[in-house]
Amino acid sequence: MNKIQEGIPSRSKDQENLLVLLEETQNKFGYLSRELLAELAKALGLPISDVYGVATFYSFLSTKPLGRNVIRVCKSLPCYLKNAQPIINCVEQEIGIKPGETTLDGRFSFQLTNCIGACDKAPAIMINHDVHGDLTPEKISQVLAGYK
Amino acid sequence: MPEKRIVLRNCEVIDPRQIVTYLERDGFKALEKAVNKLTEEQVIEEVKASGLRGRGGAGFPCGLKWELARKAPGAEKYVICNADEGEVGTFKDRYILEGDPFTLIEAMVIAGYAVGSRRGYIYLRAEYHYLLDLLSNAIGQARERGFLEHFDIDIREGAGAYVCGEESALMDSIEGKRGEVRYRPPFPPSKGLWGKPTIINNVETLMNIPQIILNGASWFSQMGTEWSKGTKVFSLSGDVEKPGVYELVMGSLLRELVEGLASAKNTKMIQVGGATGRIIPYEMIDTPLDFEDILGAGAITVFDESRDIIDIIYRNMEFLAEESCGKCVPCREGTEVMLEILERLSQGEGTEKDIRALQELASAMMLSSLCGLGQAAPNPVMDSLQYYRDVYESRIRKS
């Protein structure tokens, strides 16, 4: 079971690279399963609790399966003031899942996130690494259509 | 008062993908001057004399920080640019990186020269991943032109954690750990990244360096107030007609920014400095924006007459409780308890005892939290109690 060993480029096997490796592993395998965490721990010579501790600290890392596209709707104050709630409701309606869930077909995961630094274009969301701002409920359908 | 764009002088003027456009506007002339005409100590003296203070919120004197790192023993030292920008309502660093990555790169090389470091890192928050290509490209072009011969720059990305904007949590994150805050002392200039002398500066702080070197410290220190020199870049959001980034001389009045430039109307209160900032009622809109009065990293969120103060304070605390790194008890437990109390208060189920509990918690958190998150989390709560006590009272009486 050496899925990760094949994927690791020639870096030194140090704690230093753990966060970077977790991100690369998640990009490659979709999410950080228990097995992948165990393999990474073994490859780096770290206790699995340490690896699990890092994997669960950062909001962009996930130990649960994620959809192909991750929608993050900002729920912080500046977006809240600019009607983020209707955007949240609209996304729910469009894809049929609540924040924290993933669609059955694996197309979307839906999360609420904290300030993404797009407050001048509030209300704003991220889908994967793209920021979509100046949103209204009417625009949501088209925005989502761009992600398969 | 009109804007004074010094930090932002190249934004929307040069092409951030073409270093030539930067070179045409005195690009890398400051580095040339620093390396060829000034000693490392002279560069630091210039930065000290300018009075430049950190622009990420804490306002620590930049020159002093560099001097401490220079004097620290050791050949291996690091320069870190803090581009984590997670403070709620702050997006000025995003705007700066989008428009002028070259000034930042030049500033980092100057910093490396001054403190004796050969390696710099830009810690870029995960949410700004879309700027990675732009930044890498700019670094690559600088490298091609030979500007990074003695000091190279790497980008490290975050993975979604507000607390990693705190300098010691940031270093732990680069080291591949949970972004937990460190006990200080030792401070980064003596023991930082991997235990080596390190300076961590905010994007905006660094953006001031080339102009200070080129124009001299007194050019810079003539602007601003006694303890806040130069300009400040502000991020405006909320109930305003013209949200966006504005740069003003330190000491400018909040009114000039909020009403003059951002065209806010029917303002009830203003949050200055993000989630851990201050809340002031509209009546105090003629407060100067500087370290002596109120500032933070310059996030200005405006609330109009329709907004409910307790709801806002509750949502604010929700953010802080979620983002607490969890290492120290006062913050980890304090933010959760404050959140629970505020939830009940906002729903009309609070009591007079709850107000006293908030005040006691605030004292404990301010005194004993390990970092600014816990220390300043009570600020908005206490401000709201000071200025809007009547709202709390009437909400209590309803239950």
Among residues B240, B329, B250, the alpha carbon closest in space to that of B288 is found at B250
What ipTM goes with this model?
Answer: 0.94
More confident position, B111 or B399: B111
Give the span between the Cα atoms of B88 and A78, in whole angstroms. 8
Residue B191 has phi, psi (to 5 degrees) of -140, 105
**Cα separation of the two ends of chain A:** 31
| A61 part of a folded domain | no
Name the residue ranges covered by the structural domains of chain B: 19-221, 231-304, 309-397
Question: Which CA distances in Å does B219 have to B37, B215, B232, B252?
Answer: 19, 6, 15, 18
On chain B, the residues whose CB falls within 8 A of the CB of A57 are 161, 178-179
pLDDT grade for A16, boundaries at 50, 70 and 90? confident
Q: A119 with A130: CB under 8 angstroms?
A: no
Token pair, residue B105, equals: 């790169």
Same domain, yes or no, for A75 and A137? Answer: yes
Beta strands B278-281 and B119-124, pairing class? unpaired
Which pLDDT score is estimated for A17? 87
Q: Same domain for A25 and A90?
A: no
Q: Which of A84, A146, A81, A86 is nearest to A113 (CA)?
A: A84
Q: Both A139 and A110 in a single domain?
A: yes
The candidate with the shortest Cα–Cα distance to B178, out of B164, B167, B192, is B164
Interface residue A14 vs chain B (CB under 8 A): yes
B173-199 pLDDT per residue, tens? 999 999 999 999 999 999 999 999 999
Contact A54 B176 (CB under 8 A): yes
Provide the shortest C-alpha distance from residue B89 to chain A (in Å).
6
User: Locate tokens 């490859």: which residue?
Assistant: A43
| DSSP of A74-102 | E-SHHHHHTTHHHHHHHHHHHHS--TT-B
Residue B20 structure tokens: 């030539």
Distance, in angstroms, between B129 CA and closest chain A CA?
6
- Residue A27, Ramachandran bin (φ over 0: left; ψ between -120 and 50: alpha; else beta): alpha
- Under 8 Å between Cβ of B340 and B346: no
Judge if A73 and A141 occupy the same domain. Answer: yes
Please check whether residue A76 touches B, CB under 8 A.
yes
Sequence length of chain B is 399
Please give the pLDDT value at position B2.
82
pLDDT of residue A14: 73
Closest CA to A94 of A112, A80, A108, A114: A108
Query: Is there a contact between A23 and B176 if contact means CB atoms under 8 Å apart?
Result: no
A120 touches chain B (CB under 8 A): yes
- B231-304 under CATH 3.40.1440.10, yes or no: no
CATH code of the domain containing A121? 3.40.30.10
Angle at B317 between CA B315 and CA B318, to 5 degrees: 60
In chain A, what's the furthest Cα-to-Cα distance?
51
Position A85 in a domain: yes
Q: Final residue of a domain: which of A27, A55, A83?
A: A55
Mean pLDDT of B273-297: 97
**Which of B90, B303, B316 faces A117 most closely, judged by CB atoms?**
B90
Q: Are residues A79 and A17 in the same domain?
A: no
Are residues A120 and A75 part of one domain?
Answer: yes
Q: Kindly list the distances between the CA atom of residue B300 and the CA atoms of B238, B250, B264, in Å, as whole numbers in the listed order.
A: 8, 15, 12
| Same structural domain, A82 and A138 | yes
Do residues A74 and A119 share a domain?
yes
Phi, psi of B157 (to 5 degrees): -95, 145
Which CATH fold would you assign to the domain B19-221?
A: Rossmann fold (3.40.50)
Q: Which residues 77-116 on chain A approach chain B with CB closer than 8 angstroms?
A: 77-78, 80-82, 113-116
Which element (helix H / strand E) includes B137?
A: helix B132-144
- B184: its two tokens: 């200080």
- For residue B85, what is the nearest residue in chain A, using CA coordinates? A117
Bridge partners (DSSP) listed for residue B124: B83, B157
pTM of full prediction above 0.80: yes
Q: Do B86 and A119 touch (CB under 8 A)?
A: no
Report how many domains make up chain A.
2
B17-69 pLDDT, tens digit per residue, is: 999 999 999 999 999 999 999 999 999 999 999 999 999 999 999 999 999 99
Share of chain B above pLDDT 70, in %: 99
Q: Are A99 and A127 in a shared domain?
A: yes
B193 to chain A: closest CA residue: A16
Taking residues A24-44, report their average pLDDT. 94
Q: Which of A18, A60, A115 sits opposite B126 (nearest CB)?
A: A60
Residue-level pLDDT at A6 = 53
- Residues of chain A contacting B121 with CB distance shorter than 8 Å: none
Q: Is residue A62 part of a domain?
A: no
Give the HSE-up count for residue B88: Cα atoms under 13 Å, Cβ half-sphere: 30
Whether A135 is in a domain gets the answer yes
The verdict on A15 and A49 lying in the same domain is yes
Reading phi first (left if > 0) and then psi (alpha if -120 to 50, else beta), residue B116 is in left
Residue of A nearest to B262 (CA): A120
Contacts of B156 in chain A (CB under 8 A): 20
What CATH architecture is B309-397?
Up-down Bundle (1.20)
Domain that residue A134 falls in: 69-145
> How far is the alpha carbon of B314 from chain A, nearest alpha carbon, in Å?
10
Are A75 and A141 in a shared domain?
Answer: yes
The b/e string for B205-217 (b: 16+ C-beta within 10 A; e otherwise) is bbbbbbbbbeeeb
End-to-end CA distance of chain B: 47
Question: pLDDT by residue (tens digit) across A85-108?
Answer: 999 999 999 999 999 999 999 999
- Selecting from B159, B238, B315 the residue whose C-beta is nearest the C-beta of A19 gives B159
The reply to whether A98 falls in a domain is yes
Cβ–Cβ pairs < 8 A, chains A and B = 120
Closest by Cβ to A60, choosing from B93, B160, B322: B160
On the question of a common fold for B19-221 and B231-304, the answer reads no
Cis check: omega of the bond before A123, within 30 degrees of 0: yes
Q: Using an 8 Å CB-CB cutoff, list chain A residues near B131.
A: none
Per-residue pLDDT for A12 more than 50?
no
DSSP letter string over chain A? --HHHHH--S---SGGGHHHHHHHHHHHHSS--HHHHHHHHHHHT--HHHHHHHHTTSTT--SS---SEEEEEE-SHHHHHTTHHHHHHHHHHHHS--TT-B-TTSSEEEEEE---S-GGG-S-EEETTEEE-S--HHHHHHHHHT--
> Which residues does chain B have within 8 Å of residue A119's beta carbon, measured at their own beta carbons?
88-91, 235, 237-238, 243, 301
Residue whose C-alpha is closest to residue A45's, from A9, A17, A6, A7: A17
DSSP B13: T
Q: Find how far residue B286's CA is from the centre of its chain.
A: 23
Same domain as A137, residue A99 = yes
| CA–CA gap between residue B31 and residue B20 (Å, rounded) | 16
**DSSP label of B265:** -
